[in-house]
Amino acid sequence: MPASRLPRIRLGRWSSAGLVVGATILIALFLAGLFLPLRFGPTDLNVDAISQPPDGTHWFGTDEVGQDLFARTVRAARTDLPLALGGTALASVLGIAGGLAVSSRSRWSERIMRGLDAFQSLPLLILTIALVVIADNSLIMVAVAIALVSGPFYIRIVRSQAIVLRESRFIEAAVASGAGTARVMWKHMLPNMRSLILAQTALTGAVALLVVAALSFIGVGVVPPTPSWGAMIRIGSGQLVTGQWWAVLFPGLALFACIISFNLVADGLRDRAGRKRSAGAR
């Protein structure tokens, strides 16, 4: 077939660029959230500057109680990003452990997967609202909510890859040579799933950020006065219909930039995993 002899179209450089750009934006926003010195405190109220449009003093304008939106947008990264990452970590542990545990072709793992189907048929995002409210807006419960919403997808991805790997020659060889299940998983399966796991983790990061933002938009999880993008957008949305665009635009942009960065990183990692796989197949 001539098609297979064609020089492969090199998307590699682009996806690597996406990887670098995405990671840079995320790290920059996170570092800015932690360390950027600010002229105004994120929770300082200023009755003389209420609902000000952006100007030289308040770069992103102020909200209805005179808080500086630049300070709040920047400092929100301090809460939202670690929260999303914490939830992602929890989802990853759940996804990797769960996915490997149900990667056999036994009846039990089939049953567990059917149970997972039923679980995912619940309106999870809505249900987690109740969880977070019960826990009195505990941030740990927000991380649990992220894990509950995104963990099942993670389990599925890990499981399907693990099933393929388990049936491959070298895992069969490892099992045949007497390696225990735990050892095979840890020493042979996990390293071979690294790219996939990294990509799925980045993708989960985007979902996690969406969950954090959706919850705080509804008014649970991170609640004012602690700055968070979702809650800022909700407060700003009240003024939007009178034309005060800035209270929504800037936190919205920050959120958008973070999510698209997570997605870029995930795409880049996935392309790399795909390239490695197709190179290995030759």
Binding positions for other proteins, rule: CB under 8 A: 1-3, 5-10, 115, 117-118, 121-123, 125-127, 129-130, 133-134, 136, 206, 210, 213-214, 217-220, 230, 233-234, 236-237, 240-243, 245, 248, 252, 255-256, 259-260, 263
CB of 4 to other proteins, least distance (A): 8
Angle 124-134/194-218 helices, nearest 10 degrees? Answer: 70
Give the residue with the Cβ less far from other proteins, 32 or 240. Answer: 240
Sequence-ordered list of residues with C-beta below 8 angstroms from that of 257, at least 6 positions apart, any chain: 25, 29
Nearest residue (CB) to other proteins, 13 versus 169 = 13
Given the complex with other proteins, which of 91 and 203 has the nearer CB atom?
203
CB of 126 to other proteins, least distance (A): 4
**Rounded to the nearest whole angstrom, what is the least distance from the CB of residue 181 to other proteins in the complex?**
28
Q: How far is the CB of 129 from other proteins (least distance, A)?
A: 4
72/36 Cα distance (integer angstroms) = 12
Which CB, 107 or 169, lies closer to other proteins? Answer: 107
Q: 117 or 167: whose CB is closer to other proteins?
A: 117
